[in-house]
Amino acid sequence: MKNRTKMNQIKISANQNNQRAITIFLATVFMFVVSSCSSSKENYSMYDLKVNDLTNPTGIDVQPTFQWKLNSDGQNVAQTAYQLIVNDDDGKEIWNSGKVNGDRTFGIAYDGPTLKSNGFYQWKVISFDNHNHQAESEWQSFSMGLLENGLWQANWIEATIVRKQKYVNQDKFAFQNASQEAIDPEKFLDAPLYFRKSFQTNKKIKRATAYASAHGVYNLYVNGKLVSEELAPGFTVYKDYLEYQQYDITKELSQNENVLGVILADGWWSGTWGIMGVGEQYGTTNALLCQVMMEYEDGSTEIIKTDENVKWNTGGFTYADLSEGVKFDANNEITGWMLSGFDDTDWKAVKVVNYGYANLKGRRAEPVRIVQSFHPKEIIHSPKGETIINVGQNIVGRLKYRLTGKKGQTVSFTHMEVLDKEGNFYKNILGIFKSQKDVYTFSEDGTFEFTPYFTFHGFQYVLVEGLENLNVNDFTVEVLATDMQRTGTFSSSDSNLTQLQQNIFRSQQSNMLSIPTDCPQREKAGWTGDMQVYVPTAMYNMDVKAFLSKWLTGLRYEQFPDGAVPDMCPRPGKNAEMFDNECAAGWGDAAVIVPYRMYQEYADKKILTDNYDMMKRWMNYIATQANGCLWNAGFQYGDWLVPKTPDKYKDKYSSIFDMAALSGPTVASAMYAYSTSLMIDIAKTLGKTDDVTLYTQQLQCIKEAFSNKYIAKDGMMEPDLQGVYVLALDLDLPSADKKEAVKGQLVANIHAGGNHLNTGFLSVPFLLDALYDKGHSDLAFKILMQDTEPSWLYEVKMGANTMWESWDNIAEDGTPKVASYNHFAFGCVGDFIYRRILGLQSSEPGYKSFVINPDYSSGLAQASGTHETVYGQISVEWEIKNNKTQLKVSVPVGTQATVYVDGKPVVVGSGKYNYEF
């Protein structure tokens, strides 16, 4: 990701002669330390400074909380004190924490005088360590948004346009057939709106700050320059939570006529998304809110705002839909409309509307950005004679075009993820308004640049129609994602396993665009189940703290009054989803699992306290649905997407929904046990002793009922599905006398399937651990390294560069199927690879203390990787050569690791260590 590896500063002062730190042995264990890598010149430095989990955030609206990380070449280094200073925009100190003793480096709350709305601040921190060093950061920044609603002076405005009648999809299964071919998007999709306001500034500007939000997605231009974020204001639970953005536009303004120009498109608000391709989910009109707060050198202020004087029009965009794509006719474009001197007398007057400001909120997470851009790999001419751009990697985003053509010529670009067996273009995504097609018409001869804003596609291959003699340099791939910090890397001597981790990362990046989604092309939907299945791996790979905290805020808003938690967050605005079921086990459980896992990773209790009420209400809801202690009623997705229906069930359970019904009651009851067990832990952490008692009793009751009802004496379970055994074992559900038998059944099941996984959505994250923890690490590794279908490495073998929705997306003979090639859910194995092959396991929230215990029995000769924790970077590198194992580890400042050396635990403080055994 862009600019992410750059440290914020390195500035050190050592008050004492640097000395080689002494390794302390906190365990009396014989170990083979080849060398400890501390240099004689110890560095103590600071990096990754953040406010509210974000780097130099703008427009925040909650009190700042500060954090930083420390680096040192020494060993057993810990911070002993810090001093934090906050200055205002004029460089005047407004808060100095003084020297605060302790090793805390995150969660430090601002404790100075009230921060001002629209205020800009700098901060820095000085950290002192236990070796008499100090590190001082460079100045960092943050700015406050509009903290009181009264500061909003702008009016919500709308265009006086009559929108087209929307397409009503009657076919629930349209996503499986090509029925969209008959639908002309132009008949149903509306043109983006252009808004224009010019204003005069005669005084010297000190600072000008623009605030904007919309019903729809907007591009804000100041004197023709695009200043806004991608796809702003993003996707949130709009009724309660609409984000506004803050932009410093001081440099863009001149001291004469200035022009604010906005293009407003449908986005998630009124554009199409979801499996049914339904539009206008949150409203039938789009609206804009924008104000510029001017501060002049002479101390005076002024607010320029959207009001009845704004003019609107439509231009070159015929439509710009989130899912379908963008159609642009240059013949209709209005030249110079964003610039001063343009005559807008024939533009139309806007309508002022009153949507209020109550749901507006400032920045809570990273924005969507272009996180990578590159030229496509190649132009292909298919056997059918098609011209296809291969960008070289399945990605999410768009192509930016430089097009050469003649007046009236129309070119189109259709985006899909795979080619067919013969190498022809293949539509793997079907459904209403899911063509992922951008269309451009020339207004004159020549070369023109065009960026299809306001949409994003999931693709690797682009079918080009109406254009010849293509050159890859005329196209730029712009990868779009919420711009989060990468926190995990992995490589190994097995290139397929290394590729698998890369594919997992790619699918994560692809499915974290404003919200976590199931897939970026077909649905773009925030399915809660997908997120809970994947959350541990997500946190290894990226710093998702702000992103998921924001999403959980939405989930709290979406929880139903009876405590049910929806399958999707945000919920679709129209009750048009697939099967009208809005709550299921394993999906709603995200309300407990996601915050629980986040607390383990980030050690921030606020995640638990913020969400505790939601969790409890969810648990109470299940109790109302359950029969006694089993949740075996109502609709369930069960162990969704079991790869192979066992022969004995084939006749009666032919569809995926039959299979859902078959596994539903057992799986829902197992998930009930799982969430209950997490609630015990959470309640303990928060000191809620009554709840600890309540959930402990409840778990006991669920376990007993489960074991009695679903597990026979010989360990046979009902239903007889691999995932059901996996859940039972890993969640410790069988009574003591049945445990061995259940394990026997699971192992037999796996052997009978030729050492293949046959787990569905909810059990797959538990599969390898269930085996590993019960003494079958060999079988766990066999499944991990399996390369025939269904397996992780089969996908890699078949050329996958992202994670697929189904294990058999491409058949052995190369035939692809209609499905998503970018679903992160089955990437949940990434977590196992980090924990078992690198052997990196947290033993205290935030990795304050952790274990490094690589398993060398996987058949690999070498593995290495890193994980950036809240304390700093852990790295592990091991290699087996000439019957010797070399292990190199690095332990962050302020933490303690238990490193297993030749099977024996060695406790070390921070530093770098090499071992050979």
Between CA 413 and CA 459 the distance in angstroms is: 11
Question: Exactly one of 229, 558, 795, 805 is catalytic; which is it?
Answer: 805
Q: Is 175 within 8 Å of 275 (Cβ atoms)?
A: yes
Nearer to ligand BGC, 291 or 528 (CB): 528
Nearer to ligand BGC, 439 or 584 (CB): 584
CB of 333 to ligand BGC, least distance (A): 37
Report, in Å, the least distance between residue 530 CB and ligand BGC: 5
**774-783: long-range pairs with CB below 8 Å, 24+:** 774/729, 774/743, 776/743, 776/747, 777/836, 777/855, 777/857, 778/857, 779/747, 779/750, 779/755, 780/832, 780/836, 781/855, 781/857, 781/858, 781/859, 782/755, 783/750, 783/755, 783/756, 783/757
Locus of tokens 């099967």: 579
Measured from the CB atom, is 490 or 640 closer to ligand BGC? 640
User: Minimum distance from CB of 319 to ligand BGC (Å)?
Assistant: 25
Element (DSSP H or E) covering residue 165: none
Q: Which amino acid is at 85?
A: I
On whether the CB atoms of residues 709 and 742 are closer than 8 A, the answer is no
How far, in Å, CA of 467 to CA of 9, rounded?
49
Question: Nearest Cα to 213, choosing from 258, 157, 138, 255?
Answer: 157
Smallest distance from ligand BGC to CB 275, Å: 6
- Give yes or no for a cis peptide into 790 (omega within 30° of 0): yes
Catalytic status, residue 308: no
Nearest residue (CB) to ligand BGC, 128 versus 640: 640
In the complex, least distance from residue 529 CB atom to ligand BGC, rounded to whole angstroms: 5
Task: Please identify, using beta-carbon distances, which residue of 266 and 518 lies nearer to ligand BGC.
Answer: 518
With the CA atoms of 176, 182, 187 and 191 taken in that order, what torsion angle do they form, in degrees rounded to the nearest 10? 50
Give the shortest CB-550-to-ligand BGC separation in angstroms: 20
Distance in angstroms (rounded) separating the CA atoms of residues 526 and 515:
6
User: How far is residue 128's CA from residue 110's CA, in Å, rounded to a whole number?
Assistant: 19
Cα first-last separation, the chain: 37
Residue nearest to ligand BGC (CB): 518
Q: Which is nearer to ligand BGC, 190 or 589 (CB)?
A: 589
Q: How far is the CB of 288 from ligand BGC (least distance, A)?
A: 32
Closer CB to ligand BGC, residue 324 or residue 530? 530
Q: Which of 229, 478, 523, 877 is catalytic?
A: 523
In degrees and rounded to multiples of 5, residue 778 shows phi and psi of -60, -45
Query: Cβ of residue 820: shortest distance to ligand BGC, in angstroms?
Result: 6
Q: Which of 435, 441, 524, 538 is nearest to 486 (CA)?
A: 538
Going from the C-alpha of 97 to that of each of 82, 107, 123, 136, 894, the distances in angstroms are: 8, 14, 11, 14, 21
Which C-beta is closer to ligand BGC: that of 440 or that of 527?
Answer: 527
Contacts of 567 (CB under 8 A, 6+ apart): 527, 528, 529, 581, 582, 583, 584, 587, 588
Nearest distance in Å: CB 513, ligand BGC: 15
What lies within 8 Å, CB to CB, of 55 at 6+ separation is 48, 49, 140, 485
| SS3 call for 787 | coil
User: Of 158 and 567, which CB lies nearer to ligand BGC in the complex structure?
Assistant: 567
Active site residue 523: yes
CA dihedral 300, 301, 307, 310 (to 10 degrees): 80
Name the residue type at position 211.
Y
Q: Applying CB under 6 A, which residues contact ligand BGC?
A: 275, 518-519, 523, 527, 529-530, 637, 640, 823, 825
The catalytic residues are: 523, 805
